[in-house]
Structure 1
Amino acid sequence: MSLAPADMRLLLVHAHPDDETIQNGATMARYVAEGRQVTLVTCTAGELGEVLVPELAHIAADQDDTLGDHRREELAAAMEILGVTDHRFLGGFGAFRDSGMKWHEKGYAIAADETDERAFANADLTKAADELVKVIREVRPQVLVTYDEFGNYGHPDHIQAHRVAMYAAQLAAVESYKPDLGEPHDIAKIYWCAMSEGRMRDSLRALRASGDTETFAGMDPDGDMGPFTTPDAWLAAAVDGGEFGEKKIDAMKAHRTQIDPEGPFFAMGGSVGTAFWSTEFYRLAKGAKGAVGDDGFETDLFAGL
């Protein structure tokens, strides 16, 4: 017997405020509207992020160091737009600090030269996972969403979020593992966020055809896409958020210190249509693939449950 919407529970594990909206905002908004339960766990407050609003430059980590507090408010505003009422910080706000990053010459993120001892990337894996085990056993999701093993683009916090989420999912299912953390629960399906290589290439072609050579400058729609995209053959699901693409864009704008309203994220939506942002792709890391559409992708992360 299939699950009723109110019994469908999705848990998302992300590294910093804004990651959740960029990757899964349309999925979250759609599921909330359909009456499904959505829980977001954010692992850090993104204290070392850039500050793209000039008048707020003073809140950066190397000045007042209050960016984390500000990003918490941005996250709350974004979740209000998407309708998500259950959003938490792993271990409580401030338990783990942004680890920082720098760019490798080949265009992907790597660890910063120095990291704080409180950095999420330096956290004891079991201790961090136990914080998530508690959430898993409380919420009892059928579906978990997080990053792939490379954190999708190499950021050490994304990689750690992947490790913590995958390890916690395994530990939460073990009947004899720390019963004080709650009743055991086995998550049926685990997905990794992904950016479709085919969709990215098509969108870049549309941008270049429109005369836009600035957005994602240097990226060739027929060349190497780097680590940011996933070959379509690896994808299992394409969730169409439809009308909720606009809500996703509005929620992205709520993360104003991190996402430039004149930057490439919004250029993609404006030049090639909201569809770029409203359809979100996933790799299946655990569980059986459910019913698929004509393109071979599941259209619902709960397919088959």
Structure 2
Amino acid sequence: MTCARIREHLPSLLDDRLATAAAREIRAHLAGCPDCEREFTTLSQTLIALDAMPAPTPSPRLRARVYAAIAAEQHALRNPVTSAEPAAPVARKPATRSGRSLWFWLVQPLAAAALLVLGFTLGNRSIPATAPVTLPSATPTTTPAAADAATQRELADLRKKVDSMSQLVGYSLLQQQSRSSNERLRGVLTSAAVEKPDDKTINDLIGALALDPSANVRLNALEALYPHADQEVVRAGVLTSLPREQSPLVQISMIDFLVASRDREATPALQKLSANPQADLNVREAAKRALTQL
């Protein structure tokens, strides 16, 4: 085998997924090739370090976003807006099939959370608690103050429900990441080695970039997406992942990717990032440089 073929099989060798004869041939090659042996050692050490990383926890921003969705839903239910004629539809770019499947995969846990909240709210409205039957009063039964108090109580009850629901959503995200870090890295490296990846492979790489808890896996996923920067779904995936990224190293790499792909749609996000005082100083400087290059 050539060195290139040997390196393609290194993840399988680490995972003991090769036949005995093939594994023996690769190990014999490693014994006589310092470059391949060095790459094999580096990959092995990287996987060991990834496995030693602590388990991820759900983002604290998840609860705040669900609370905001609840408040908006409550406001919409209490203040219905009617219009004489429908608003003009907003023009949108046609989405590709792979783009639609990507967005569905990214927002699926949050969409499930929103549906649970809506179901709980409608359930409380449509199935009132059993109470003794009383005759209607001749005077108004609900004052504005009482309505406000009832609203506050209902929101408090919903927040209690969201506390448990956010844990379920976080658990769903962790289930998607239940594979060990070395398995996830092997998946990214395998996808990167495919010369003509299909939509699923591209979506898997974008998903790893957006959601994988390991910064090393995210960096490798971003590197694997470089040959496909001409695809709109790839650029959109990187741009969507940039604001939620916590690692300055990965953020700067994403900014370099957007500059290399000449994605002018990234300008608003880069302007916001460059002016964010909470962002890392190096990240803000990289965003400012990128704005001058787009």
TM above 0.5, yes or no, is: no
User: TM-score scaled by structure 2?
Assistant: 0.24
Q: Which has the larger radius of gyration?
A: 2
User: TM-score scaled by structure 1?
Assistant: 0.24
